[in-house]
Amino acid sequence: MVFTDRNVRRIFVLALFLGLLFMFRHLAVLLVFFVLFERALGVGAKWLNARFQVPIAAAVIGQIVLALAVVALLGFLGYTRVVPAVPQLRGELEGQFHHLRGWLQARGWEHTVSEHATQGLERAQHYAGNVVGFLGSVGKSAVYVVIGLILSVVFLIENEELERWRASLGEDSPARILMRYFSYLCDAIAITAKLQVIVALVNTLLTLPVLVLMRFPSIPALMVFLFVMGLIPVVGGVVSGVVMAILAYTHKGMVGVGVFFASTFVLHKIESYYLSPRLTAQHVKLPGFVIITSLILFEHLFGLVGLFLSFPSLYVAAKIRESWRDAEREREDETRLTGMMRLSREPPPPRKA
């Protein structure tokens, strides 16, 4: 890379961007809530504004009032029982894993094939327990929820003013470039959340009839396990399918194994060939090998959190690289156009007598 003023400025802004992410990494949950609120309220506000000419501010406030009414109604109908039920669900889930380990040990497999299976079950239990625990402790982070909601409301109401202020900055100014990088990060968070929630819901809803027909015990706990594992990118569905197949064998024999291996195969194909490409192709195209390798590396470095950091990191890196290449092409086009204009202004050479 040639160290021109533009490239030096890019490297400086990139280092500043990474430094800010590291310095304020403890506010990552706040950023996630802000993005989720801003995107959800923004879609509804723009639709109401375009369809019924409702002002953006009124549309945003109206959606919040409606959401509060729904929450109050759910609370009146018994929603407050869900949070106290989290420990019970977690206990039932741990009981299923304990049953699996006991079943393997009773057959003398704990030192052979079951050693690897037990390690996989413990990791799956650890992942599911962490996610369930996080969902159960959301109330402890209520301050982040409130702040994220307030920030999203102010951002949407003052969006036009913010856009004018952003446009007043120079295209290559450090502040403009830094804002662009953070917009990439917000897009990555929104895409990841949308993709994984859809995958988790599809996985859970398609597996629920199988659980009911096979009369599995602790169906609510197993549904929670399937949903939270579906929230883990790429590997969550496969791991949950393998665990459910082993659990099915302990309860229903080879018939249960066949049913869950078939359902896991179908769900994996739906996720790999329909849901994931449909949701991500319009934003970024990455080879599957790159995604899997990144998942392995990030999981090794950061544990469960690394599985959620992998795709956003790749997305942001790809968008930054794309913006650099676009800027280089624009610069080359400007140079070429300037040269052509200079040549057109030069007088033609005198003719020889």
- pLDDT tens profile 305-316: 787 888 889 889
pLDDT at position 200 is 86
Q: At 54, phi and psi to the nearest 5?
A: -80, 130
State both tokens at 300.
């090794």
The sign of the torsion formed by the CA atoms of 142, 146, 151, 156 equals positive
Helical segments of the chain, H only: 5-23, 28-52, 56-76, 82-106, 113-136, 142-157, 159-168, 174-213, 219-230, 235-252, 254-270, 276-280, 288-302, 304-345
> What does DSSP assign to residue 287?
-
CA distance 198 to 279: 10
Report how far residue 310's alpha carbon sits from residue 297's, in angstroms, rounded to the nearest whole number: 9
Condensed to tens digits (0 to 9), the pLDDT of residues 92-104 reads 666 766 766 676 6
Q: How many CB atoms lie within 10 A of CB 32?
A: 18
Residue 342 has a pLDDT of 63
Rounded CA-CA distance 194/186 in Å is 12
Q: Using the CB atoms, write b or e for 86-116: b if 16+ within 10 Å.
A: beebbebbeebbeebbebbeeeeeeeeebee
Q: Are 45 and 153 in contact (CB under 8 A)?
A: no
Mean pLDDT of 290-306: 79
Task: Judge whether residue 59 has pLDDT over 90.
Answer: yes
- Ranges 111-120, 211-220, 313-322, most confident: 313-322
pTM for the predicted model, two decimal places: 0.74
Structure tokens at 71: 């929450």
What's residue 307's pLDDT?
76
Average pLDDT over residues 131-156: 75
Average the pLDDT over each of 6-10, 159-163, 197-201, 253-257 and give the range with the smallest value.
253-257
* Residue 336 in tokens: 């070429």
Burial label, 235 (beta-carbon count in 10 A; 0-12, 13-18, 19+): middle
Spell out the residues 6+ positions from residue 263 whose beta carbon is closer than 8 angstroms to its own.
206, 207, 210, 241
Lowest-confidence segment of 35-49, 62-76, 112-126 by average pLDDT: 112-126
How far apart are alpha carbons 56 and 41 in whole angstroms? 10
Question: Taking residues 292-303, what's their average pLDDT?
Answer: 81
Answer yes or no: is pLDDT of 201 > 70. yes
Which range is least confidently modeled, 8-12, 242-246, 318-322? 242-246
The letter for the amino acid at 337 is L
Q: How far apart are CA 301 and CA 305, in angstroms?
A: 9
The per-residue pLDDT for 47 is: 93
When comparing pLDDT for 216 and 98, which is higher? 216
Do residues 39 and 190 touch, judged by C-beta distance below 8 A?
Answer: yes
Q: Is the pLDDT of residue 147 over 70?
A: yes
- 217 DSSP 8-state letter: S
DSSP symbol at 81: G
* Secondary structure of residue 348 in the 3-state scheme: coil
Check residues 215 and 352 and name the one with the higher pLDDT: 215
User: Is residue 113 pLDDT above 50, yes or no?
Assistant: no
Q: pLDDT exceeding 70 applies to what percent of the chain?
A: 66
pLDDT at 239: 73
| Alpha-carbon 129 to chain mean position | 19
Give residue 155's pLDDT. 95
pLDDT (average), residues 71-92: 62
What would the mean pLDDT of 248-272 be, rounded to a whole number? Answer: 74
At 280 the pLDDT is 62
The most confident of 106-110, 180-184, 201-205, by mean pLDDT: 180-184
